[in-house]
C-alpha cells in the first residue's frame, strides 16, 4: 500500500507493515524536548523519577531558553532545579542559557535527522520537518510520562499535500509564503494533519524551510515536512553529519491525501498577519501606514543568520525611526557569533537595534520586551495572539525580516520592495 | 450550572496568558488567571459542574497545559466545541478533562437552552434536540479511566 510520509514513519516506529489515518499506534521517539518547563515536568514525577530513573540518558533534550537570564528568584530556581536534575541523571543533551532557542539547537546540533521521530513539550516542535524529521508538540504531563517510559501513543494523521510551483519574487520570502498559506486555509485548516511540501522546493534553504515548518502549528498541523534532498544533505554535511548516519523517509507516489493544495510562488506578495489571529493575513498595501512602536527581528521563526543578514542589508548605514524600538534576537549562540564576526550585529546595533541574548525573549510575553497598552509591535515571530507580548491592549503584527527591518526605518508598516 | 459560550479560535494566551507560564504551574496559582484577557468574569463566577461551549479550534496555540489544569480544577464538567486544537485535546485526555467535538450541538445552542450530556451513550441534548458524538478509542478511554496519564503510567510501571 502506498503511504504518506507520516504513515510511513509511524509504521516504522510502531513496527507495523502499514498504518492508516485515525489508527492509534504506540511509538518510542528518538528524543523528547523540553525547556524551562522541565522543572514543572520533573516535579510531576518526583518520586518515580528517582525510583525508576530516566528511561534513557540520551532521550531528553533540555534547553534553557524561555526566561534567560532568569528574571526572578522563582525562574532562577526553576533553572537550578533543572541543572541539578541534568547532573544527577547524567542527561547528555543539555544546553544552558545563552546557547540558543531549543528548536534551533535541535537542528543545529544534528539531534533531528531525516527519518527520525521527535516529540517536544513545546508547540513549535513541528519545526524539525525542515530537516525531514517527523516532530510534534505535546504537553508537560506527556513529556513527564515519556521520561519514565520512553513511549507514547500517536494517532496516525491525515496528510495534506502542498505543491509549490514557480519561484518567489525579490522582496518576498518564505515567511510571506507560510503566512499566505495560513491566511488561505485558516489557523485550523490543517488541524490534526501532517503537511507535506512538494514541488519547487529547491530554492528553499534549510533556514527558509525552518520558517515554514515552524509555523505548521499555526494552521493546526501535527507536523510539517520538507523531504530530504541535496539541500538537506549539504546542510547536515556542513554540521558534520554523514549521509550514512540517517535513513530518509519519503512519501510514496500515489499515497492518499486528505487534501491537496497548489501555490504559485510567483503570485505571492509581502503580507502581514494582523491582530489577533495568525490567519488574519492581509496584503501589505492594506496595512501600510499603520504606525508601530516596537519591531522584533529574530525568534525560532526568523532568527537565523540569513534573516539577520536580510535585515542588516536593509539597515546598513541608516538609522531606524526615532519612535521605534528595534529588538534583535538571534536564534542561537552559533548564529550570534557568525553574525558578530561578519559585521551583521554591528550594522544592526549601529542602526539602532537592541541586542537580546539568544533565546525566546519577547515572543511569549514572559520576559523581555513586553508591550504597553495601545502599542503595536511588528514581529518576525510566529504568534500575534491577544496578550501574547504581555499586554492584552497591545497589538502584534507578523511579517518577514525584510518587512520588519524596512518598517523600522519608517516607523510604520512598509513594503520592503520599496528599499530592496 | 452556568454555560459559558465563546467564539472560534480561543487560543492558549486567552485561556491562560503567557506571562504567567513560568511562575504559575499548580492549580491554585492558575485559577485566578483563567481566561483573564478574554473574560475577566470567568474566574470570579465559574462553578463546579459548569459547561463551556465554543466554536472551532478551541485551545489553539501553545503546548502549555495550565489552561487544561485550570479548567479541570475549577470543575468544568465538559468543553463542547466545533473543533479542538490537537495539543490541547491531548492535554485534556492526559488530565482527564472531558472534551466533546460536536459542531451541530454548538450551532444549535443559544442562550437559555438546557444542555445535558450522556457520556455512556455519546449523546448531547441541547434544548429539544439530541446530537451524537463518537466514542473515544479504547486506548484513550483507558487513560481517562485511570484518572489521567500520570496515573496510567504509574500503574504501568508498577506492573512491569
Q: Which residues of A fall within a CB distance of 8 Å from B59? A: none
For strands A24-27 and B99-101, give the pairing: unpaired
**pLDDT per residue over A251-279, tens digit each?**
999 999 999 999 999 999 999 999 999 99
Question: Domain A5-263 sits in which CATH superfamily?
Answer: Aconitase, domain 3 (3.30.499.10)
Q: Is B62 on the interface with A (CB under 8 A)?
A: yes
DSSP summary character for residue B135: P
| Residue keyed to cell 498577519 | A273
- A282 membership: H or E segment, kind and range: strand A281-283
Question: CB-based contacts of A221: which residues, under 8 Å, 6+ apart?
Answer: A126, A160, A190, A191, A193, A194, A195
Per DSSP (E only), the strands in B11-126 are 51-54, 78-81, 99-101, 115-118, 123-126
List the strands of the sheet with A159-165, edge to edge.
A223-226, A194-199, A159-165, A259-264
Distance from CA of A333 to the nearest CA of B (A): 23
Question: CB-based contacts of A129: which residues, under 8 Å, 6+ apart?
Answer: A135, A209, A213, A216, A223, A224, A225, A226
Domain with CATH 3.30.499.10 in chain A: 5-263, 273-418
Answer whether A106's CB lies under 8 Å from A34's CB: no
**pLDDT per residue over B88-129, tens digit each?**
999 999 999 999 999 999 999 999 999 999 998 999 999 999
Give CA–CA dist A133/A114, Å, rounded.
5
CATH of domain A273-418: 3.30.499.10
Give CA–CA dist B102/B71, Å, rounded.
19
- Minimum Cα–Cα distance from B153: chain A residue: A145
Point out the residue among A24, A141, A366 whose CB comes nearest to the CB of B149.
A141
- A39 membership: H or E segment, kind and range: helix A38-44
**pLDDT per residue over A192-208, tens digit each?**
999 999 999 999 999 99
ipTM: 0.92
Q: Which residues of B fall within a CB distance of 8 Å from A384? A: none
Which among A261, A282, A268, A310 has a CA at the least distance from the CA of A166? A268
Inter-chain contact B17–A387, Cβ cutoff 8 Å?
yes
Radius of gyration of chain B (CA): 16
For residue A319, how many C-alpha atoms fall within 13 Å in the half-sphere facing its CB? 3
Q: Running along chain A, 420 residues long, what does each successive block of 10 average in pLDDT?
A: 97 97 96 96 93 96 97 96 97 98 98 98 98 98 97 97 98 98 98 97 98 98 98 98 98 98 98 98 97 98 98 98 98 98 98 97 92 98 95 97 98 95
Answer whether B88's CB lies under 8 Å from B79's CB: no
Q: Which of residues 347-366 of A touch B (CB under 8 A)?
A: 364-366
Q: Is B59 on the interface with A (CB under 8 A)?
A: no
Q: Which of residues 10-39 of B touch A (CB under 8 A)?
A: 11-14, 17-23, 25, 36-38
Answer whether A219's CB lies under 8 Å from B86's CB: no
- Minimum Cα–Cα distance from B88: chain A residue: A139
- A395 membership: H or E segment, kind and range: strand A395-398
* pLDDT averaged over every residue in chain B: 95
Domains and CATH numbers, chain B: 3-107+114-158 (3.20.19.10)
Dihedral pair phi/psi, residue A307, rounded to 5°: -65, -45
Q: Is B57 on the interface with A (CB under 8 A)?
A: yes
Q: What pTM did the predictor assign? A: 0.96
Amino acid at each position: 500500500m502506498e503511504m504518506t510520509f507520516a504513515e510511513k514513519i509511524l509504521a516504522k516506529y510502531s513496527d507495523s507493515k502499514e498504518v492508516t489515518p485515525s489508527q492509534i499506534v504506540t511509538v518510542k521517539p528518538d528524543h523528547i524536548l523540553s525547556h524551562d518547563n522541565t522543572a514543572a515536568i520533573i516535579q510531576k514525577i518526583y518520586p518515580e523519577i528517582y525510583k525508576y530513573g530516566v528511561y534513557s540518558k540520551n532521550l531528553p533534550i533540555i534547553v534553557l531558553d524561555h526566561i534567560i537570564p532568569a528574571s526572578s528568584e522563582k525562574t532562577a530556581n526553576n533553572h537550578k532545579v533543572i541543572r541539578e536534575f541534568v547532573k544527577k541523571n547524567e542527561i547528555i543533551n543539555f544546553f544552558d542559557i545563552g546557547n540558543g532557542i531549543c528548536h534551533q539547537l535541535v537542528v543545529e546540533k544534528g539531534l533531528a535527522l531525516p527519518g527520525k521521530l521527535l516529540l517536544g513539550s513545546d508547540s513549535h516542535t513541528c519545526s524539525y520537518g525542515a530537516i525531514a524529521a517527523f516532530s510534534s508538540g505535546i504537553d508537560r504531563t506527556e513529556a513527564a510520562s515519556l521520561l519514565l517510559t520512553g513511549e507514547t501513543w500517536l494517532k496516525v494523521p491525515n496528510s495534506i499535500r502542498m505543491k509549490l510551483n514557480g519561484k518567489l519574487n525579490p522582496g518576498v520570502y518564505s515567511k510571506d509564503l507560510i503566512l499566505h498559506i495560513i491566511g488561505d486555509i485558516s489557523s485550523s485548516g490543517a488541524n490534526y494533519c501532517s503537511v507535506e511540501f512538494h514541488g519547487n522546493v529547491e530554492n528553499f534553504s534549510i533556514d527558509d524551510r525552518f520558517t515554514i515548518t515552524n509555523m505548521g502549528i499555526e494552521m493546526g498541523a501535527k507536523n510539517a515536512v520538507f523531504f530530504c534532498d541535496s539541500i538537506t544533505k549539504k546542510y547536515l554535511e556542513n554540521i558534520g553529519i554523514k549521509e550514512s548516519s540517517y535513513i530518509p523517509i519519503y512519501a510514496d507516489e500515489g499515497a492518499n491525501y486528505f487534501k491537496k493544495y497548489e501555490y504559485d510562488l510567483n503570485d505571492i506578495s509581502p503580507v502581514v498577519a494582523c491582530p489577533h489571529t495568525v490567519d488574519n493575513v492581509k496584503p501589505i498595501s492594506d496595512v501600510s501606514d499603520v504606525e508601530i512602536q516596537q519591531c522584533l527581528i529574530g525568534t525560532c521563526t526568523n532568527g537565523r543568520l540569513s534573516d539577520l543578514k536580510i535585515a542588516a542589508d536593509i539597515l546598513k548605514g541608516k538609522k531606524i525611526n526615532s519612535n521605534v524600538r528595534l529588538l534583535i534576537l538571534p536564534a542561537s549562540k552559533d548564529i550570534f557569533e557568525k553574525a558578530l564576526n561578519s559585521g551583521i550585529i554591528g550594522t544592526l546595533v549601529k542602526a539602532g537595534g537592541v541586542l537580546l541574548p539568544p533565546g525566546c525573549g519577547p515572543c511569549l510575553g514572559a520576559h523581555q520586551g513586553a508591550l504597553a497598552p495601545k502599542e503595536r509591535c511588528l514581529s518576525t515571530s510566529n504568534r500575534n495572539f491577544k496578550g501574547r507580548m504581555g499586554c492584552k491592549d497591545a497589538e502584534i503584527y507578523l511579517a518577514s525580516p525584510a518587512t520588519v527591518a524596512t518598517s523600522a526605518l519608517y516607523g510604520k508598516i512598509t513594503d520592503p520592495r520599496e528599499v530592496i | 450550572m452556568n454555560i459559558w459560550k465563546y467564539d472560534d479560535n480561543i487560543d492558549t494566551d486567552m485561556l491562560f496568558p503567557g506571562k504567567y507560564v513560568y511562575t504559575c504551574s499548580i492549580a491554585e496559582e492558575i485559577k485566578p488567571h483563567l481566561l483573564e484577557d478574554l473574560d475577566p468574569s470567568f474566574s470570579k463566577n465559574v462553578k463546579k459542574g459548569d459547561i463551556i461551549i465554543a466554536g472551532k479550534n478551541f485551545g489553539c496555540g501553545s503546548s502549555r497545559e495550565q489552561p487544561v489544569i485550570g479548567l479541570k480544577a475549577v470543575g468544568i464538567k465538559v468543553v463542547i466545541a466545533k473543533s479542538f486544537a490537537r495539543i490541547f485535546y491531548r492535554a485534556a485526555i492526559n488530565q482527564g478533562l472531558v472534551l466533546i467535538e460536536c459542531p451541530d450541538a454548538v450551532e444549535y445552542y443559544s442562550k437559555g437552552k438546557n444542555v445535558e450530556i450522556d457520556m455512556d451513550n455519546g449523546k448531547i441534548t441541547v434544548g429539544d434536540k439530541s446530537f451524537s458524538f463518537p466514542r473515544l478509542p479504547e486506548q484513550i478511554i483507558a487513560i481517562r479511566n485511570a484518572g489521567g496519564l500520570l496515573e496510567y503510567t504509574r500503574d504501568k510501571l508498577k506492573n512491569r
